[in-house]
Amino acid sequence: MSRRLIFFASSFLLVATPAFSADPTSIASAFSARFDKAFAACDVPAVLELYEDNATAIFAENLAQGKVAIDAMVRSSCKDGRQTTPPYKQTEAHARLLGPDWIMMVRVLDGVDNKRPFRANATELMHKSGGKWHYVVDHASLGVASPASAR
């Protein structure tokens, strides 16, 4: 009995450790950086590649369910192939591994729009399938001037 228990525990650790040992914030930040780059360039096909077919995306007050709606939402933020959303940079990121193929991340994004600082928060649920990460839920909300601007 004890040999079976030791075998089971050893097998579990051998299989589970690699899945849970990766730094979820690094994985999710690298994935989100791909989105940021594609979104800033209005590269709609590259943006859509990052979403699962039935993903939900919320940008400010806009809600899109599925890739067709996400496509339309991303295109609406572009004019003449240029992004109309003000540029931003990730200033904080906190991620949690929810399972071997699931990561939840909260990001803080700071930027300036017409010389007025702003802060956006993004909550992202990512799922790994077919060896690739994809958004399942991507919720970005714009806020008021960042605390850094008040100093």
pLDDT digits (tens, 9 = 90+) for 9-53: 444 444 444 445 579 999 999 999 999 899 989 999 999 999 999
Query: Which residue segment(s) compose the domain that 49 sits in?
Result: 22-150
Which residue ranges of the chain lie beneath pLDDT 50?
A: 5-19, 146, 149-151
- What is the number of other CB atoms lying within 10 angstroms of the CB of residue 126? 25
- CATH code, domain carrying 138: 3.10.450.50
Quick check: is 5 in a domain? Answer: no
Asked if residue 49 is part of any domain, the answer here is yes
Residues with Cβ < 8 Å from 123, sequence gap 6 or more? Answer: 104, 105, 106, 107, 137, 139
Is there a domain that residue 119 lies in?
yes
Q: What angle do CA 48, 51, 55 make, to 5 degrees?
A: 120
- Phi, psi dihedrals of residue 49, rounded to the nearest 5°: -60, -20
User: Would residue 103 count as lying in a domain?
Assistant: yes
Task: Give the residues across from 89 on adjacent strands.
Answer: 110
Residue 7 is assigned to a structural domain of this protein = no
pTM of the model: 0.76
Number of domains composing the chain: 1
pLDDT at res. 10: 46
Average model confidence (pLDDT) for the chain? 82
16: in domain: no
